[in-house]
Amino acid sequence: MDVMSVPSSNLDPKIAERLKRDASGLVPAIAQQYDTGEVLMLGWMDDEALHRTLTTGRCTYWSRSRREYWVKGETSGHQQWVKSVALDCDADAILVKVDQVGAACHTGDRTCWDADVLDAVVGERPDARS
């Protein structure tokens, strides 16, 4: 699927016309724990996955490897219950605030960013009083 041939979906046309998809017709979707702000995972949504997420209360993603829709937690039990959905300012990314049940990462970690923290110089903003 490419951006010029987005498959039909029940997504509200006003939302669909705003989305900026990649060449495969997908938009990155960040899942964030609604009450703590913890960033959980990145998945991919096409128009239909976004429509299902908006209308079912459960996160639905497009699996690029399996080439099928998957509802987070359908087989693992590690469900994501939708609390809010927002587009970023360019409409090229989706933020889904969720109530995560269990691990968000397929490795069994709470988040997909637990295991590989890189060494980085920590920046400090200048003292605002100076």
What residues are designated binding site for Mg(2+)? 88, 90, 92
State how far the Cα of 24 lies from the Cα of 5, in Å rounded to an integer.
9
Edge to edge, the sheet with strand 39-45 lists 39-45, 27-33, 94-100, 80-87
Binding residue positions for Zn(2+): 89, 105, 112
* DSSP helix/strand/coil, 100: strand
